[in-house]
A = this chain, B = another copy of it.
């Protein structure tokens, strides 16, 4: 049984005439006759009664043809689905961001992307780099925004912007008068850090390599699993100082009077934020749209990388 044969019997049932039906199907009359005979043989039943001057549909025939129409309709629906699906910017995109990026980017990203791709809702998840990477390879999400490096086989990364780190300290801190902070200065300070598992924690530690007292064991316990916002609150309450990515540091709202923010003396520590997706992911234009929307976000202090090229690993 083929879809073509089903089209033929539906046509004959409609026209009640092999010749006219064959025209409607754009084939010759013998082609139609042979095909229908083949189907009748396969099904083991007569679909039509051939009279000299008229073709009649048999009892079973009418039921078969009715069902054949349903098959053809369902098959046509596939084409419609495919046509709609040709647009990369149609259908949801499952998007993940690491904890230290998501809250400071997605609020701006969503409206900008909605303008570019109104039929592509973002399904957003936040998590650790490791977990997001696993989900990406698993096919549970399509795209992640994270901090480099992220060299995984089968994954493409594409840098979007460089983000400098900032020092955030209590407003009454001794450094309040300073214009810039040197990394080495951090050595003598009580530095508040995220719990382990956050890549940003490791990046800060690496930047401050040699700063002996940077890790305060007691403090780490209390911060387990918590967020940059919690750390900022603690700084405001005078517990110590911290280093934040500038998008987080600049997004101070209520505590502007309790904390002070300082840049590092150049070249200060920096992280590179990139998009990552499976090399095989086919909705290329969807990826482009997200990247463009990200570059259009007005993120304070970052250096956009519009000319960066995607990298396969």
By a CB distance below 8 angstroms, the chain B residues around A2 are: 2-3
What 0/1 pattern do residues 138 to 169 of A give for CB contact below 8 A with B?
01001000000000011000000000000000
With an 8 A cutoff between CB atoms, is A34 at the interface?
A: no
Whether the Cβ atoms of A78 and B85 lie closer than 8 Å is no
With an 8 A cutoff between CB atoms, is A60 at the interface?
A: yes
What 0/1 pattern do residues 41 to 59 of A give for CB contact below 8 A with B?
0011110011110101011
Known A46-B282, A49-B281, A139-B56: A68·B78 in contact at CB below 8 Å: yes
Whether the Cβ atoms of A64 and B86 lie closer than 8 Å is no
Report the bound CA distance from A67 to B59 in whole Å.
29
By a CB distance below 8 angstroms, the chain B residues around A75 are: 1, 6, 71
Nearest B residue to A90, CB-CB: B60
Whether the Cβ atoms of A79 and B3 lie closer than 8 Å is no
Tell me the chain A residues, 63-99 only, with Cβ under 8 Å from chain B.
Answer: 63-64, 67-68, 70-71, 74-75, 77-79, 81-86, 91-92
Whether the Cβ atoms of A79 and B1 lie closer than 8 Å is yes
Report the bound CA distance from A155 to B56 in whole Å.
15
Whether the Cβ atoms of A82 and B60 lie closer than 8 Å is yes
Given B58, B64, B91, which contacts A78 in the complex, CB threshold below 8 Å?
B64
Question: In the complex, how many angstroms separate the beta carbon of A65 from the nearest chain B beta carbon?
Answer: 9
Question: In the complex, how many angstroms separate the beta carbon of A6 from the nearest chain B beta carbon?
Answer: 8
Report the bound CA distance from A45 to B278 in whole Å.
17
Known A52-B154, A82-B45: A70·B74 in contact at CB below 8 Å: yes
With an 8 A cutoff between CB atoms, is A253 at the interface?
A: no
Whether the Cβ atoms of A74 and B77 lie closer than 8 Å is no
Question: In the complex, how many angstroms separate the beta carbon of A16 from the nearest chain B beta carbon?
Answer: 9
Whether the Cβ atoms of B67 and A78 lie closer than 8 Å is yes
Whether the Cβ atoms of A139 and B49 lie closer than 8 Å is yes
Question: In the complex, how many angstroms separate the beta carbon of A52 from the nearest chain B beta carbon?
Answer: 6
With an 8 A cutoff between CB atoms, is A280 at the interface?
A: yes
Question: In the complex, how many angstroms separate the beta carbon of A78 from the nearest chain B beta carbon?
Answer: 5
Whether the Cβ atoms of B63 and A85 lie closer than 8 Å is yes
Whether the Cβ atoms of A91 and B59 lie closer than 8 Å is yes
By a CB distance below 8 angstroms, the chain B residues around A85 are: 43, 45, 59-60, 63-64
Whether the Cβ atoms of A49 and B91 lie closer than 8 Å is no
Tell me the chain A residues, 84-130 only, with Cβ under 8 Å from chain B.
Answer: 84-86, 91-92
Question: In the complex, how many angstroms separate the beta carbon of A90 from the nearest chain B beta carbon?
Answer: 8
